[in-house]
A and B are shown apart, each in its own frame.
Chain A
Amino acid sequence: MTEPVWITGIGLASSLGEGAAPHLAALSEPAARPVLDKTGFTPFPVHPLPALEIERQIPKRSDQRQMEAWQRLGTYAAGLAIDDAGARDLVSNMHLMVAAGGGERDPRLDEAIAADLAPLPPAEAAPLLNQRLANGLRPTLFLAQLPNLLAGNISVVHGVTGSSRTFMGEEQAAADAVRIAAARLAEGRGGIALVGGAYLAGRWDMLLLYSMGGALWRGAWAPMAERMERGGGAVLGTAGAFLVLETESHARARGARGLARITALATGAARRRGEDTVRASANALADRIRPLLRDGYAVISGASGVAEPLAEERGFLADLRDAGPAQGPVRHTADLIGHAVEAAFPANLALAALALGQESAPPQILVTGFGLWRGEALALVEPVGGAA
């Protein structure tokens, strides 16, 4: 990177609540307990959507009606980040990078159609499916479903129009969105960018998908370390997490405060077979970060709870300990807010930036992202005044 890139705004809403306070409180309390919905999606515990005054960030009812909860959460968090950065007047030239999954289906319609058509022979079911969908789908739901419409809504509601790109691909999409947004700023393509994602954990359609992959923890919630002893599994978390990124010169010129600096960020995608392992991939990504580490650096881990990548991450962090400076505490944020897929990496960067602003903060924080199926990401986050 040629010019330092700062985080100057954070928009974070999770099951713990919104903004810095509840998240810092949870981070600083070793015995902090997560907020859970234990019964709504049995057998899967999920971290639910917190109560939000949506109209504070999405004042128009007409805008709210065009979205479902996932897009509303993301648009809300994006607004929080813009406000936090004091950047409302900069939105027209702000670049936007969003990591998005698909939007909500109408689960009641799915269930009704599935119940009625499943017993029929396919030749009878197909025309009936058309009829049921044509009569049952709401027009607005299509727009609520399109991944790029989270970005579209952020443009419409908040006026962010510098550019707009939506990355797809679960956890990794967000890490690459941040990486590319930061790289574009560092090379002088614009001075300010908004990047992040949102995930809604309480969705049957997504639980079906992740359950087919054997990725989900079933039954009573337990911290990740305990889950590992019983085969592992992710507890999905609801989060909207956006960051305002800014070049140092752009931030200084407008007198904006830097919450943290992203000193290095690298992403990879091991195929997770043979020698192409998560641990090897992370070790390769760490080549540029290892020389920058200082004694007492902390780790904010984006591990999902799925056993294999978590074991590989443990191995990688052990390699890092063996290779270099003394490693500080390792915090698995999924134990606090759940695994928020596309929102996980931005949320963890946000938590790292918030933590660096506290008294007795570590000198640096290494943020990791290890996708439950694919994707590795590492970011080194430091105070803006810190030496590189």
Chain B
Amino acid sequence: MSATRDHLGRPLIAVTGMGMVTPLGFGVAESWAGLLAGRSGIRRIARFPTGHIKTGIAGCVELPEDQRGEPLSSPARVERYAMLAAEEALAGAGIGGKGCFPGPLFLGMPPIEVEWPNRLEFARRAGEGRYPAMIEAAGRRPELFESFLFAGVGARLAGRFGTRGAPISLSTACATGGSAIQLGVEAIQRGEAEAALCIGAEGSLSAETLIRFSLLSALSTRNEEPAKASRPFDKTRDGFVIAEGGAALVLESLDSARARGAKVLGLVLGCGERADSFHRTRSNPDGSAIIGAMRAAIADGGLEPGQIDYVNAHGTSTPENDRMEALGMLAVFGEQPPPISSNKSMIGHSLSAAGAIEAVFSLLTIRDQRLPPTINYETPDPAIPLDVVPNVARDARVMRVLSNSFGFGGQNVCLVLGAEPA
């Protein structure tokens, strides 16, 4: 078996381009520097009023367009974050020509729909609020139609970057970004493509979204101390903090990357998934699905748990997730699990983007041999006997990282990322 094939004879998958937008900054360098410095990107929401909503904080990523008054719609935000991340990734990868990417697009994104400013505009024109009247008042609005179709964002990105074939948009809740990467890996392994552009983007922060998550009691309400609100694995954690952003990865076969002399930023060694049938928003108390997903990713890479040096946590800061993730860690790794830390302590939970953002951070962890911290770790939780890299980044030997993504709806995806073989 050659050095460019994996243990199952499949082509090894190289990452040759990375880009990201997070609450810590635009671009990989700024985001990663903030993460290593232990900086929080969580702040008070200024874009819309938050009165009557229990949570008034988020990991907001403001765009220049927001300054002009009316905030962008969710699909417009998703498209902008995805575009910025993809442009950075493609510039780094130096692949294809401008507007001519030699492979498919896999876009992890949130669901979108017609929004309140639109409904209120139609009702104003109709002079009443009933849907039939709003429909007549709306008339033909092709730009809104194309904006709010689920296929719209992907179609526009595919047009801009010239990706091949039908663009694939997907959602597996909080595992979406991981699923996008997994689909890209599989397409290359199957020989459908030499390269894939995998993006996770999130921009659904709005009053209604906040209220809906609040009704599930999923969000932190630590509004007075935004920077301290996301505290994964800390005993006083009280929920996650919604965030925005996006990340893009250019994947290609290691053969193809080497053949064109591309700089290899790391490998996607394994992908694992397992669905949970226990409950719509909670993991099975036995942890079987998340344990299964972690084990499947490690096995898919032909690895043993002992070969994982660090875990990039799902680590949402909800009481439930972090406890279950710790249970999974002990089940998979035994009594001496590797260190684990949660990027979400600083950038919040970017839902559809998180899996992709955290895959990029995992590769940077390997590149710099430095573990990003879990900030706001002040009160250890006896139910979580893990080294969470508390509060301060530190150097470590890291060749392989397991990156966890566990979603509402029981959709769990784990990735193993590794250094390029010598």
Q: Which residues of A contact B (CB under 8 A)?
A: 42, 66, 96, 100-102, 105, 107, 110-119, 125-127, 129-131, 133-134, 137-139, 141-143, 145-149, 151-153, 155-156, 158-170, 172-173, 175-176, 180, 183-184, 187, 189, 204-205, 207-215, 267-269, 271, 371, 373-375
Contact = CB atoms under 8 A, between A and B. Distances in A.
Given A183-B190, A375-B151, A148 B140 contact: no
A56 to B, nearest CB: 19
Contact of A118 (B51, B123, B140, B214): B123
Contacts of A129: 116, 207
B226 interface: no
A349 B132 CA distance: 34
Contacts of B130: 111, 115
Contacts of B214: 134
A167 B169 contact: yes
Contacts of B33: none
B165 A269 contact: yes
A227 B130 CA distance: 28
A205 B207 contact: no
10 contacts: A96-B275, A115-B128, A130-B52, A131-B51, A138-B215, A153-B280, A163-B274, A169-B149, A169-B168, A214-B145
B129 A169 contact: no
Contact of A119 (B111, B124, B140, B154): B124
Given A110-B131, A205-B113, A130 B53 contact: yes
Contact of B53 (A113, A134, A163, A183): A134
Closest 3 CB pairs of A and B: A152-B409, A115-B129, A213-B145
A118 B124 contact: yes
B49 interface: yes
Contact of B279 (A156, A158, A207, A268): A156
B155 A374 contact: yes
B336 interface: no
Interface in B197-214: 207-208, 211-214
Interface in B149-185: 149-151, 154-155, 158-159, 165-173, 179, 183
A126 B186 contact: no
Contacts of A163: 273-275
Given A118-B123, A183-B192, 19 more contacts: A42-B132, A111-B131, A114-B120, A115-B129, A118-B124, A119-B124, A131-B52, A134-B214, A137-B212, A146-B111, A147-B150, A152-B409, A164-B275, A165-B172, A166-B411, A170-B151, A176-B168, A213-B140, A214-B145
Say whether chain A's binding surface is mostly helix, strand, loop, or mixed.
helix
Interface string B62-101: 0000000000000000000000000000000000000000
B307 interface: no
A113 B273 CA distance: 41
Interface string B122-151: 111000111110110011111011101111
Contacts of B120: 114, 117-118, 125
B333 interface: no
A214 B211 CA distance: 32
Nearest to B166: A269
Nearest to A111: B129
A139 B216 CA distance: 6
Of B144, B158, B173, B278, most A-chain CB atoms within 10 Å: B173
Contacts, number: 247
Contact of B409 (A138, A149, A204, A208): A149
A118 to B, nearest CB: 4
Interface string B329-346: 000000000000000000
Contacts of A127: 49, 51-52
B215 A173 contact: no
B165 A268 contact: yes
Contact of A151 (B139, B166, B409): B409
B53 A161 contact: no
B119 A102 contact: no
Contact of B159 (A105, A151, A204, A271): A271
B149 A209 contact: yes
B309 to A, nearest CB: 26
Interface residues of B, number: 77
A212 B142 contact: yes
A191 B115 CA distance: 42
B275 A162 contact: yes
Contact of B215 (A116, A139, A168): A139
B147 to A, nearest CB: 10
Contacts of A155: 275-277, 409-410
B170 A212 contact: no
Contact of B134 (A42, A148, A189, A208): A208
Nearest to A156: B277
A151 B173 CA distance: 11
B4 interface: no
Contacts of B128: 115
A279 B84 CA distance: 33
B169 A161 contact: no
A244 to B, nearest CB: 16
A168 B169 contact: yes
A322 B250 CA distance: 41
Contact of A161 (B170, B183, B192, B275): B275
Contacts of B119: 110, 113-114
B145 A209 contact: yes
Given A133-B207, A271-B159, A152 B145 contact: no
Given A129-B116, A164-B411, A148 B166 contact: no
A130 B50 contact: yes
A208 B135 contact: yes
Given A155-B275, A172-B151, A210-B145, A133 B211 contact: yes
B140 A269 contact: no
B409 A148 contact: yes
A205 B275 contact: no
A162 B114 CA distance: 34
A152 B111 contact: no
Given A209-B148, A213-B146, A134 B274 contact: no
B13 to A, nearest CB: 15
B49 A145 contact: no
A107 B170 contact: no
Contact of B138 (A180, A211, A268): A211
Interface string B371-387: 00000000000000000
Nearest to A189: B186
B173 A208 contact: no
Nearest to B409: A152
A83 B149 CA distance: 33
B231 to A, nearest CB: 24
Contact of A373 (B134, B141, B149, B190): B149
A96 B130 CA distance: 38
Nearest to A105: B113
Contacts of A214: 140, 142, 145
Contact of A114 (B49, B134, B154, B275): B134
Contacts of A212: 138-142, 144-145
Contact of A142 (B114, B207, B215): B215
B35 to A, nearest CB: 28
A374 B409 contact: no
